[in-house]
Amino acid sequence: MRRLTALVLLFFFGATSLIAVLGGLPALTAAPPNKTAAGLPSALSAAMARSLGSLPGLPALFPELSTALGLRLQHGVYLTDTMLIEELPPPSRAATQANTEMLRLFVQRLQTRSQAETGLVEPIYFMLTPTARAIRQEDISAYAYPVDQKQLISSIYYHSDFPAAPFLSPVRAYEALERAGEAYLYYRTDSALTSLGGYHLYRELAGAMRLEPRSIGRFNVTHVSHDYRGELSHRVYSRNIPGDLVSVYDFADADDTYRVTHYGPEGTRVYHSLFPEHVLELGRPTDVILGGVSPRIDIRGANVFDERLLILSDRTVYAYISFLTLHFRDITILSTDMAADLFDPALIRDINPLEYDRILISLSIDSFTQTQRPAEALSALLPLLDTEEG
Is position 243 within any domain?
yes
Same domain, 214 and 184: yes
Alpha-carbon distance of 353 to 308, in angstroms, equals: 10
| pTM assigned to the model | 0.81
Q: What is the pLDDT of residue 125?
A: 95
pLDDT tier at 272 (50, 70, 90 boundaries)?
very high
* Range in 51-55, 181-185, 274-278, 374-378 with the lowest mean pLDDT: 51-55
- 28 or 152, higher pLDDT: 152
Contact 374, 116 (CB under 8 A): no
- Contact predicate 308/280, CB 8 Å: no
Do residues 267 and 343 both lie within one domain?
yes
The answer to whether the Cα torsion of 178, 182, 184, 189 is positive or negative is positive
Q: Are residues 66 and 98 in the same domain?
A: no
Domain termination site, one of 38, 71, 104:
71
Q: How far, in Å, CA of 287 to CA of 89, rounded?
A: 27
In a shared domain, residues 136 and 47: no
The pLDDT of residue 145 is: 77
What's the pLDDT score for residue 356?
93
- CA-CA distances (angstroms) from residue 186 to 190, 192, 193, 319? 7, 6, 4, 10
**Do 227 and 109 share a structural domain?**
yes
Q: What is the pLDDT of residues 25-37, one digit of tens each?
A: 333 222 333 333 3
Q: What percent of the chain shows pLDDT beyond 70?
A: 77
Whether residue 49 sits in one domain with residue 98 = no
Q: How far is Cα 267 from Cα 280, in angstroms, rounded to an integer? A: 21
64 touches 38 (CB < 8 A): no
Domain membership of residue 11 as a residue range:
2-71
Would you state the pLDDT for residue 162? Answer: 56
Q: Do residues 162 and 21 share a domain?
A: no
pLDDT tens-digit readout, 31-69: 333 333 333 444 444 445 445 444 544 444 444 444 444
Q: Are 36 and 163 found together in one domain?
A: no
Quick one: 31 and 97 in the same domain? no
Number of domain units in the chain: 2
Q: Reply yes or no on whether the pLDDT at 352 is more than 70.
A: yes
- Do residues 299 and 198 share a domain? yes
pLDDT, tens only, 190-234: 999 999 999 999 999 999 999 999 999 999 999 999 999 999 998
Residue 163, pLDDT > 60, answer: no
Rounded to the nearest angstrom, the gap between the alpha carbon of residue 186 and the centroid of all alpha carbons in its chain is: 9
Report d(CA 379, CA 390) in Å as an integer. 14
Burial of 272 (0-12, 13-18, 19+ CB in 10 A): exposed
Contacts of 84 (CB under 8 A, 6+ apart): 77, 78, 188, 189, 230, 232, 233, 236, 238, 241
Q: Cα dist. 162→165, 166, 286 in Å?
A: 6, 9, 36
Beta bridge partners of 359: 124, 310
Residue 83 lies in a domain: no
Give the pLDDT confidence score for residue 287 in this predicted structure: 94
Backbone dihedral angles phi then psi of residue 85, each to the nearest 5 degrees: -130, 125
CB–CB of 313/362 below 8 Å?
Answer: yes
390 occurs within a structural domain: no
Secondary structure of residue 326 in the 3-state scheme: helix
Do residue 117 and residue 6 come from a single domain?
Answer: no
Cβ atoms of 212 and 266 within 8 Å: the answer is no
Confidence of residue 388 (pLDDT cuts 50, 70, 90): low
Which strand (E) or helix (H) includes residue 103?
helix 93-118
